[in-house]
Amino acid sequence: MAHTMNELIQLVVSGTATGAIYALAGLGFTLLWQASGTINFAQGEFVMLPAFTMLFCVMAGAPLWLAFLITCAAAMVVLGVGFKRGIVDPLIRHGVIPLVIATLGLSIALKTIVRAGYSAEAHQFASPFPAGQFSVGGITVSYADVGTLFLAGVIVVALQTFVTRTVTGRAMQAVAQNTDAARVLGIDAKRMVLYTFLINAVLAAVTALLITPTYLAKFDMGDSIGLKAFFAAIIGGFNQTRGALLGGVLIGVLENLVGFYWSPAYKEGVALMLFLVVILFRPEGLLGKAEERKV
């Protein structure tokens, strides 16, 4: 009995770690939506691109931490400022649909470019955490899972603190809630939206750092992450930052449990099932509030 209990806890812990990674990508999704009404279907490729940037830096001889910092900076410029100025700003005034289509196109373009440059083969990616594991009361936990949970936790807490405790963070929230009112109050709404894009870019880089050691760097690695991030955001509630966290962790844990106790064949369907149930019975998401759409 204790045996099966330990098994369950182990599955929940490693599922939470994987789920935390989905949550980070999902968080970026909801942030962009709240601040600018952008649905970014290239979110998966926004994770894939930093993975290859880091790979490039590491191959050029940089240690992983330096590669990560360079990638963060590059991501902020390209996936933050570049994405906003080049694609979102010109298209958003035509509504959500053109932008959705544009991001779908962007996703295909990015995959094709990376495939042309790096071939369709997978590439090794070093883990930022040491291999191995330790036991606590009969439950074995790997360093990688603990490291992932820790790093994801730090980032979520830091982000939450930034948004709720700092003037800039509150201004960002104000813009997300009511752009016009925020503008009247003298908040530079454009700048706040730009910050959101920068945060999303960094979140994508962190997600890449955490997930690529498992997924391996491959041009289509974003397909599944992007989808999971989207599901996580919808399940938790698209208009709630905390929602994406709950959604991500829920998917990660359930995937692990279904894969182990039922069959790995059904694992990939878990997020989709959850997504369908939520859409049918609680379309605003588990933590979301039913609210009127901003026009």
Partner 1 sequence: MKRNPIRLLAAAVLGLGVGVASAQQTVLISGLVELSGTGATSGTNFDNGAKLAVKEINAAGGILGRKIEYTSSDTQSNPGIAKALAQKAIDQGAYVVMGPVFSGSILVSMEETRRAEVPNFTGGEAAAITQKGNPYVFRTSFTQTTAMPKVARYIANNVKAKTVAIIYVNNDFGKGGRDVMMKNLEAVGVKVIADISTDPGQVDFSGAVLRVKQSNADALFAYTNEEESARLLRELRKQGYDKPAIGETTLTGQKVIELAGDAANGAVAHVGLTADAPLPGIKAFDEKYQRDYKFKSDHNGLKGYTGIYIVKAITERIGKFDRKAFAAAMKGAKISAKEHPGVLMDVSFDQNGDLDRESFLTKVVNGKQVVVETLPALGAK
Q: Applying CB under 8 A, which residues contact partner 1? A: 3, 7, 10-11, 14, 18, 115, 119-124, 126, 131-133, 140, 142, 144, 213-216, 218, 224, 255-256, 259-260, 263-265, 267-268
Nearer to partner 1, 147 or 169 (CB): 147
CA distance 56 to 262: 39
Q: Burial, 134: exposed, middle or buried (Cβ in 10 Å; 0-12, 13-18, 19+)? A: exposed
CA atoms of 92 and 37, how far apart (whole Å): 8
Shortest Å distance, C-beta 203 to partner 1:
20
Identify which of residues 76 and 152 has a Cβ nearer to partner 1 in the complex: 152
Closer to partner 1 by Cβ: residue 7 or 180: 7
Least distance CB 15 / partner 1 (angstroms): 8
Cβ distance to partner 1 smaller for residue 145 or 243: 145
As measured in angstroms, the least distance from the Cβ of 213 to partner 1 is 7
CA-based nearest residue to 198, from 86, 90, 72, 110:
72
Q: Is 130 exposed, middle or buried (0-12, 13-18, 19+ CB in 10 A)?
A: exposed
Residue closer to partner 1, measured from CB, 124 or 178: 124
Tokens of 147: 């490291």
Instruction: Give the shortest CB-249-to-partner 1 separation in angstroms.
Output: 15
- Under a CB-based contact definition with an 8 Å cutoff, are residues 196 and 92 in contact? no
**Looking at residue 266, what DSSP letter applies?**
G
Q: Which is nearer to partner 1, 70 or 216 (CB)?
A: 216
Which residue, 4, 6, 255, 271, is CA-closest to 141? 6
> For residues 173 and 187, what is the distance between their CA atoms, to the nearest angstrom?
11
Q: With contact defined as beta carbons under 8 Å apart, do 17 and 147 qualify?
A: no
Shortest Å distance, C-beta 59 to partner 1: 13
Q: Work out how close the CB of 150 gets to partner 1 at its nearest, in angstroms, rounded to a whole number.
A: 16
